[in-house]
Amino acid sequence: MFTIQGKSGNWEVVIGLETHIEVLSNSKIFSGASANYNPTIAPNTQACMVDVAMPGMLPVLNEYCVDQAIKFGLGINAEISRVSRFARKQYFYPDLPQGYQISQPADQPPVVGRGWVEIMGDDGNPKKILIERAHLEQDAGKLKHDAHPTKSFADYNRTGVTLLEIVTFLDVKNPENNSFISSPDEAERYLRKIREIARALGVSRANMEEGSMRADVNVSVRRAGTNTFNERCEIKNMVSFKFIKTAIEYEARRQIEILESGGTIERNTMRYNQGDGTTSVLRSKEDALDYRYFPDPDLLPLVITDDRIERIRRTMPELPEATRARYIEKYGLAEYDAARLTETTDISKWFDTSVGDKPARAKSIANWMISELFAHPENYDITNEIRENTDPDAPRIITPENLAELVDMIAAHDINGKQAKEIFTKMLDGETGTPREIADKFGMKQMTDTGAIEKIIDDVLSQNTSQVEQYKSGKVGLFGFFVGAVMRATGGKANPGVVNEILKKKLG
């Protein structure tokens, strides 16, 4: 249990996250404008009449975004609402010309209801984190205040891009239920899990640096061993795992100090100050905004049929957690290896392709990938973020098929491990051709002819008579010396298994 030591005892931290992910789709949630928002696109070239709220423009719900929300909901084991509603959240700010944001507020059914994800808890055991809801809403535009000394600019390209907001649940009525986030590390693991699911399903890039994943962090504290929920503060708009962890810890300590000196916590909205890692009040309860929510009269209730949910369920790819379980069960991989191979969907697809329909290859392929391939991210044809910051022109000729062939050649004793490593290195260096072609080209063939090996062994033993005597009088550690000598004499080509066998026989 994560606790913070105060002056008068230990404190626990209670954390609730509201995570926004930008939903991948061609067009925006209520308009046909391109949703491919990114900072390199010229301002206001992807904002249409609906986005800038010209009079008379009507929103039309993007059904693909609804599908995406359903898909995500199924990915977090959630109930999908058969009927949900959109409402207007009124506020005036120039980044949203409508004067309100269309959202699915807490007192209306959201498209995705109660669900859960499993993370590793701080005690090393699996821990369920309950999710209250996930709802669809519009993103706002971007204001630019630093481009001109006296003017501000508004870019509406992002206005109306689809967001899915995922809110964790606190079981206030059932305080023994501790399926919530209770430490900075668990907050990070939860967010990584959300990101993993969103990416695996193709629902979002969920990338904090680019802003396609952002979180509001609610923090409260309570004395260790108690199970009431106390007043909380909310830190707005966090976009880095590291900052989130620092902010939670700072905010918790701030609250502990107030409580220990006899004060009370006000439900404030906080900002995080990157410079010094502190939190400070952005607005207090008194200036809490009244959004005057009301059902959007331009949008019908969102009705989702069972058929639609089933259709989407059938298209769901295997989620990384299930992939890991499969690797462990079916291939007998270690947990660590299974985790490395499921870091991204691209990696697990690569591994699956390489294993193909030969499970016997799996362990060997896993070893090669983790210990060799991952050390050379520029050289393999996995398209994923591991390759970021590497030379884009480096040859990527180690394909899943190549690695499979290499592993098969070792298993068939066509080459030994040392030769395989040489072929692998040659491929990294840009040698073209399949492993078999490379082996042929460089005359790398394993020596399996027992007669020939036996002859070399006889030579080695007769050249090292004193070592043979020592071995026979009990210095069995010398066995490796003989193996080494034989391997050297064969130019590394002998089958080590055969060498071992014959040596054992000869040395008695």
The residue among 168 and 344 lying less far from ligand ADP, judged by its C-beta, is 168
What is the total count of residues that contact ligand ADP (CB under 6 A)? 16
Residue 53 has phi, psi (to 5 degrees) of 60, 50
Instruction: Determine which helix (DSSP H) or strand (DSSP E) holds 128, and give its type and residue range.
Output: strand 126-138
18 binds ligand ADP (CB under 6 A): yes
Q: Cα–Cα distances in Å, from 47 out to 22, 240, 295, 325?
A: 17, 28, 24, 44
Instruction: Find the DSSP H helices in 281-399.
Output: 306-315, 320-331, 335-340, 345-355, 362-371
Least separation, in Å, of the C-beta of 191 and ligand ADP? 13
The residue among 197 and 355 lying less far from ligand ADP, judged by its C-beta, is 197
168 binds ligand ADP (CB under 6 A): yes
Q: Do residues 251 and 235 make contact, with C-beta atoms less than 8 angstroms apart?
A: yes
167 binds ligand ADP (CB under 6 A): yes
Q: Cα–Cα distances in Å, from 396 out to 349, 361, 376, 379, 420?
A: 16, 22, 10, 4, 18
Least separation, in Å, of the C-beta of 68 and ligand ADP? 22
289 binds ligand ADP (CB under 6 A): no
The residue among 230 and 464 lying less far from ligand ADP, judged by its C-beta, is 230
What's the token pair of residue 442?
A: 């460089």
Of 154, 170, 235, 355, which one interacts with ligand ADP (CB under 6 A)?
Answer: 170
d(CA 213, CA 163): 9
d(CA 234, CA 217): 5
Stretch of residues binding ligand ADP (CB under 6 A), selected from 95-103, 217-225, 271-279, 397-405? 217-225
The residue among 91 and 481 lying less far from ligand ADP, judged by its C-beta, is 91
Cα 454 to chain centroid, rounded = 53
The residue among 18 and 431 lying less far from ligand ADP, judged by its C-beta, is 18
Stretch of residues binding ligand ADP (CB under 6 A), selected from 216-224, 258-266, 351-359, 481-489? 216-224
Q: Do residues 272 and 301 make contact, with C-beta atoms less than 8 angstroms apart?
A: no
Helix or strand or coil: residue 330? helix
Of 2, 12, 16, 31, which one interacts with ligand ADP (CB under 6 A)?
Answer: 16
Helix or strand or coil: residue 242? helix
Least separation, in Å, of the C-beta of 83 and ligand ADP? 20
Token pair 């959630």: residue: 78
Helix axes 184-200, 241-260, angle to 10 degrees: 150
182 binds ligand ADP (CB under 6 A): no
218 binds ligand ADP (CB under 6 A): yes
Residues 239-268 that bind ligand ADP (CB under 6 A): none
Stretch of residues binding ligand ADP (CB under 6 A), selected from 95-103, 146-154, 227-235, 440-448? 227-235
Least separation, in Å, of the C-beta of 218 and ligand ADP? 3
Sequence-distant (6+) residues with CB within 8 A of 19 are 165, 166, 167, 191, 194, 213, 214, 215
Stretch of residues binding ligand ADP (CB under 6 A), selected from 38-46, 213-221, 424-432, 447-455? 213-221
232 binds ligand ADP (CB under 6 A): yes
Question: How many CB atoms neighbour CB 193 within 10 A?
Answer: 18
Stretch of residues binding ligand ADP (CB under 6 A), selected from 31-39, 166-174, 323-331, 361-369? 166-174
The residue among 178 and 470 lying less far from ligand ADP, judged by its C-beta, is 178
Stretch of residues binding ligand ADP (CB under 6 A), selected from 16-24, 251-259, 332-340, 384-392? 16-24
Residues 100-129 that bind ligand ADP (CB under 6 A): 106
Task: Give the residue nearest to ligand ADP (CB).
Answer: 16
419 binds ligand ADP (CB under 6 A): no
d(CA 70, CA 309): 7
d(CA 339, CA 460): 45
Please count the helices (runs of H) and the strands (runs of E) in the chain: 15, 16
* Interacting residue ranges for ligand ADP, rule: CB under 6 A: 14-18, 106, 167-170, 218-220, 229-230, 232
